[in-house]
Structure 1
Amino acid sequence: MMLHGSDLVRMQKCPRLAWLEYHHRQESSLPFYNMEDSFSSLWTRAYGLQDTPRGQRGDSMEDSFRILDSLAPGESARFIRIVYRDLRITIPWIRKLEDGWEAIWPMFTARESEAWVMKLARLAAAANGIDIRRQEAVFLNRSYIRQGSLDTGKLFLKSDCLENRKHHLTSSIEDLQADLDVDPDRLIDEACSLFSGPCPKAVNSRHCALGKRCRHYESCFRTDLRPGDDTIFLRTLPGRYSLPEGSMADLDPAGLENYPTAFGQYQAARHNPWIDREGLRQWMQDAVHPYSYLDFEWDTFAVPPYRGMKPADVLCFQFSLHTETEEGLDHASFFGWGDCRRAFIQRLLETVPKEGTIFVYNMEGAEALRLRQLARQFPEYAEPLQQIWERMKDLSKPFENGLYYNLRMKGRFSLKQVVTLFTDDPVYSSLAIHDGLQAVRAYREYETADPGTRERIMEELDRYCQMDTYAEYLVLKGLEKVMEE
């Protein structure tokens, strides 16, 4: 049996996830970051490591020893594979010291949680007689703003500390590891036993839907077969993972009012759908005609590709805008490639009405945030862009705040889920592009596509983005209808 460090990391989070990934290894999905150069080539260039010895995939411990034995104090090697029993773990950068070794870990974000796998590698190395005396992390400098050519020397930071969730350096790697109980032998034995046995039973925990749902979530819990009032779909309520399976209607309502989403779900379990009409009217009372509906598509770049951008900035390449008029719905759109930011802004300012409420779904985590980034990058447009985001109204709030909940939602609050509550039209089913991930994939394919394929991609992206703003329109009309009933 061959184990990788990632297998043991997953095992700590969810034994079932580790088992599924071990037995059904799949090709990597679309990378989150758009990168012209590989991450390893960037940090290698930044620290002048192009000519250092490097290990290869499949190296034995003897191969690694040959590389390490060739180094003098102060010299480095890359991608050294450490083999201990059934475990294979790679140290990306190792440097020889006078009295031992220094392990250096390049990563996009130096999360505190990375200390665990660092300690695992350190202990596995020690079992092979490799004494790692120092450890550091190399990570993206999020305050770096590109000016002209990419400056790899400023792109990275190097530290013996790791970052918290707000990207602030906190505790040192040594201090974090001192509190970690990592036993390689025990972990290897547990992993061998786990992977040689049957698939573990699914256990609902915060890891199942932390940030976004695990890709195995639907199959693990057969959500398609569960009734919408099942407690597994409950949101925001503390301790919900320890609740027994059953109906939300059986919960003790005491204190639920303090958790609006969960309270709306509880009420829907008793009287479906739950509609707080007075709350909806209050939410709508400051809306001003004409109504517009706006949606952006964007890609995320780990390394800033253009002037004024920071690491992990996004580039908006498309928008769709529907505006209500006396004649019906008017539509305007934009699609751009390369550094299309200025053209994006100009087209947006030309087409967005100068007055009226602009409805956006999940605006704070998406469109409003993107406009603020553009205002920072192009300060000459900051004021008109601010006027746009200040007129935005988040169409997701009635659902997330428990003003409207239908058991058909099954704990999901995406636009694509919500719009099905207000129309029998299978809005997205006829589209070639069905979701944001597919939109990003199509955008990335555009660069190398031939002219005919490019035209098709533009048409498919336009139809998809246009459908998002039309769905926003349908949702608002649905809410207005239930408010009038």
Structure 2
Amino acid sequence: MIHVSDILHYNQCSRLAYNYHTNKKKMENFYHMNVPFHELYCRLLNIKEYGMGNTGDDNEKSCSLIEKNEFILNARFEYKGCRTRIPLIQKTEKGLIFYYPFLSAYPKEFEAQKMKINQMICEKIGFTILDTKIIYLNKDYIRKDSLDVNQCLICGDCFFNRRNNAGKKVKEVIDSIEIDLDQCIEQVSELFSKEIPEAIRTKKCTAGRRCRFYDFCFDESNEPDDSILFFTTSSHKLDLYEEGIHRIKDMRIDKIEGFRLQYAQYMASLYGTFMDVAALVPWISQIQYPVSYLDFEWDTFAIPPYKNMKPFDVLCFQYSLHVEQKNGDLNHFDFFGSGDCRKQFIESLIASIPKEGTILVYNMEGAEKLRLMQLANQFPEYKEELESIWTRMLDLAKPFELGVFYDNKMRGHYSLKKLLPVFTEDVSYHELDIQNGMNAVFAYRTFDRATPKQKEEIAKQIREYCSMDTYSEYIIYHGLLKELKKRGVSLTCQI
């Protein structure tokens, strides 16, 4: 038995299809949903009653649901051993209308592949599909005291193009797709009857977001730290690796595209570490004491749960702040909250953070700085104080992102977790119960329904993780100072 998703994965990569089919690990939702999505789009369409399909339903059961109800949620169908699920079906006298809900503001044309296969399966069974509609979020909606689903959600019949403008009609795109369904089912079914396909590296493996099965397919633990596979943004590295060139320093100069980070990696491959002192000194010279090291943890809500929030806004539930004085004293402050803790978060942060000095934040533009700007829009009475914080922020990631400093131990990455071992062996994320941001989010989502004792432990673990982030910033900043000192550069105003 296969699923339509197996066919879609197979069309991308046979190994991907095999991995998804055989790996049954639970997928955590990226978005936090306080209310099941189907309840909201049923309210949008004014659906009061509906039939509900269940896992394992056969065609007979689903046909019975359609016969007895105008609307059906999660109906299951099967054709030649290929199963699928239709999120919402409306029965009319002339045929069926399919509805596909998306936790997205701009559903794209590639979604039509699944819709086409679903339509073909239902047509094979004997149904007539009149139309297909999509339900998506209105990104410009701002919630008031209560949620207005008629403003938050949109039911439409057009996909969106790359520029997020309304494009072709959904039905038009579906009708233009040609698929040999029988052949697809046969090919995918045959794939799962064999041994796992060979893993072949291609640009698809890392294009956009890295494939979640990359480390399963390719064990790179034995690769040298300066492996050509870690050469950032290179269009030649896979070909070079196949040619037997496995280290960055062994590649031909004409294969370097000219990015600054690539140059840093090439020089580090030759000498172990690269530092552009002329670029780093003026950057560090901006930093003034007291130095604050700041990090937030937040959860993302597709549907705005509280007043003045928009779709896809985040809710900050934790901050960690280390403050270093010029004499070397280091103090820690933090906040953890649940529910609508935005105002308490703001007030605690304003009270804790120094009114002067530099605020070092890692990857701040799309993260902490943006979070503060969103909070300023939601709570304009705090805008001036919040702006005074984000205007003093300096992005600690820039020296590494731009190739001002590179060490082979980074292995092509510059996250905090990759950088920390470069500058110290005394502390590690591996010592923590929570070791990455998404794990912190998933732990936070269990907080409200936990027992008092469990809540205490959850808060403790999240606080320890976030504190490690800001302490890592402290170590990394001082690591850069030490590297400059090794090279005879004196920065008396910083030390």
- Which bin holds the TM-score, normalised by the shorter protein? over 0.9
Residues 160 and 173 in structure 1, CA contact (< 8 A), matched pair in contact too: yes
Gaps of 5+ in 1: none
Other structure's SS at 1:83 match = strand
Distance change (3 Å), C-alpha of 1:265 and 1:157? same
Q: Give how far 1:318 is off.
A: 0.8
Deviation at 1:413, TM superposition (A): 1.9
Residue 421 of structure 1 deviates from its aligned partner by 0.2
- In 2, the alpha carbon distance for the partners of 1:204 and 1:269 equals 23
Residue 378 in structure 1 maps to residue 379 in structure 2: yes
Q: Judge conservation of contact 2:49–2:71 (CA < 8 Å) in 1.
A: no
Q: What TM-score results when the alignment is normalised by the length of structure 1?
A: 0.93
Cα separation, partners in 2 of 1:61 and 1:149, compared to 1, 3 Å = same
Trace 1:317-396 onto structure 2 (pairs within 5 A).
317-325=317-325, 326-396=327-397
| Counterparts of 2:463 and 2:73, CA distance in 1 | 44
Within the candidate set 124, 127, 147, 1:127 is matched to 124
Give the drift of 1:306.
0.7
Q: Report matched runs for 1:152-231 at 5 Å.
A: 152-164=149-161, 167-177=164-174, 180-231=177-228
Task: Tell me how far apart the structure 2 counterparts of residues 201 and 263 of structure 1 sit (CA, whole Å).
Answer: 33
What residue ranges of structure 2 are gaps of 5+ in the alignment? 488-495
Deviations 1:255-313 (A, max 9, x none): 73632223322222222222222222233243333221100011111211110111221
- Structure 2 equivalent of residue 88 of structure 1: 83
Are 2:97 and 1:102 aligned? yes
Secondary structure, in 3 states, of the residue corresponding to 1:224? coil
Which of 140-149 and 42-51 deviates more? 42-51
Counterpart of 2:58 in structure 1 is 60
One-letter code aligned to 2:339: G
Point out the more displaced range, 91-100 or 459-468: 91-100
SS in 2 for 1:37: coil
Letter of the structure 2 residue corresponding to residue 115 of structure 1? A
How much does 1:228 deviate? Answer: 1.9
Secondary structure of 2:455's counterpart equals: helix
Give the corresponding residue for 2:406. 405
Question: Displacement, 1:95?
Answer: 2.1
Asked if 2 retains the 8 angstrom alpha-carbon contact of 1:277 and 1:482, the reply is no
CA distance in structure 1 between the partners assigned to 2:40 and 2:158 by the alignment: 21
Structure 2 vs 1, CA of residues 40 and 239 (structure 1 numbering), >3 Å: closer, same or farther? Answer: farther
Aligned residue among 27, 30, 33 for 1:32: 30
Distance 1:70 1:452, change over 3 A: closer
Aligned counterparts of 1:470 and 1:211: Cα–Cα separation in 2? 30
My pick for the range that moved more, 15-24 or 258-267, is 258-267
CA distance in 1, matches of 2:63, 2:265: 59
**Alpha-carbon offset, residue 211 of structure 1:** 4.9
**Bigger shift: 246-255 or 409-418?**
246-255
In the TM superposition, what is the alpha-carbon distance from 1:248 to its structure 2 partner? 2.0
Q: Which residue in the other structure is 2:433 paired with?
A: 432
CA contact (8 A) 1:144 1:154 kept: yes
Mapping for residues 243-322 of structure 1, pairs under 5 Å: 243-245=240-242, 246-254=246-254, 256=256, 258-322=258-322
**1:142 CA displacement:** 1.8
Displacement of 1:423 in angstroms is 0.4
- Is 2:11 the partner of 1:3? no
Letter of the 2:406 partner, please give it. Y
User: Relative to structure 1, is the Cα distance of residues 166 and 421 closer, same or farther in structure 2, using a 3 angstrom cutoff?
Assistant: farther
The answer to whether the 8 Å contact 2:140/2:310 transfers is yes
- Residue number in structure 2 paired with 1:43: 41
Q: CA deviation at 1:169?
A: 3.0
Letter of the 1:159 partner, please give it: G
> Measured at CA, do residues 4 and 454 of structure 1 come closer, stay the same or move farther in structure 2, by a change above 3 Å?
same
Q: Provide the C-alpha distance between the structure 2 equivalents of 1:347 and 1:166, rounded to a whole number of angstroms.
A: 39
Aligned equivalents of 2:220, 2:247: Cα separation in 1: 14
8 Å Cα contact 1:427-1:471 kept in structure 2: no
Deviations 1:176-220 (A, max 9, x none): 335544321221122112111111122223443345433322232
Q: CA deviation at 1:452?
A: 2.1
Deviation at 1:222, TM superposition (A): 0.7
Q: Which moved more, 1:347-356 or 1:92-101?
A: 92-101
**Counterpart contact for 1:102–1:132, Cα < 8 Å:** yes
Q: Match of 2:60, SS?
A: helix
Q: 1:181 to 1:483 in 2, by over 3 A?
A: farther
Contact 1:80 1:91 in 2 (8 A): yes
Tell which deviates more after alignment, 129-138 or 95-104: 95-104
Identity, in percent, stands at 40
- Corresponding letter in the other structure for 1:413: Y
Distance 1:129 1:239 in 2: 51
> Which amino acid in the other structure matches residue 344 of structure 2?
A
| Counterpart contact for 2:91–2:97, Cα < 8 Å | yes
Q: Aligned partners of 1:455, 1:302: CA distance in 2, in Å?
A: 28
Q: Which residue of structure 2 aligns with residue 416 of structure 1?
A: 417
Structural RMSD (CA):
2.1
Given the superposition, is the C-alpha separation of residues 328 and 211 from structure 1 closer, same or farther in structure 2, using an over 3 Å criterion?
Answer: farther
Aligned partners of 1:263 and 1:184: how far apart in 2? 49
User: What's the counterpart of residue 141 of structure 1?
Assistant: 138
The aligned residue for residue 229 of structure 2 is 232
* Number of aligned positions between the proteins: 480
Structure 1 residues 210 and 388, CA gap change in structure 2 (3 angstroms): farther
Secondary structure at 2:319's aligned position in 1?
A: strand
1:453-464 equivalent positions in 2, closer than 5 A: 453-464=454-465
Shift of 1:461: 2.0
Distance of 1:149 and 1:470 partners within structure 2: 40
Aligned-partner SS, 2:474: helix
Structure 1's 380 and 256: CA in aligned 2 closer, same or farther, altered over 3 A? farther
Cα–Cα, structure 1 residues 29 and 69, in superposed 2: closer, same or farther, change >3 Å?
A: closer
Instruction: Tell me if the contact between 2:234 and 2:257 (Cα under 8 Å) persists in the aligned partners.
Output: no
SS in 1 for 2:286: coil
- Name the CA shift for 1:462/1:76 in 2 (closer, same or farther; >3 Å): closer
Letter in 2 for 1:287: I
Residues of 2 paired with 1:431 and 1:216: CA distance? 24
Who is 1:12 aligned against? 11
Shift of 1:96: 3.0
Following superposition, the deviation at residue 239 of structure 1 comes to: 5.2
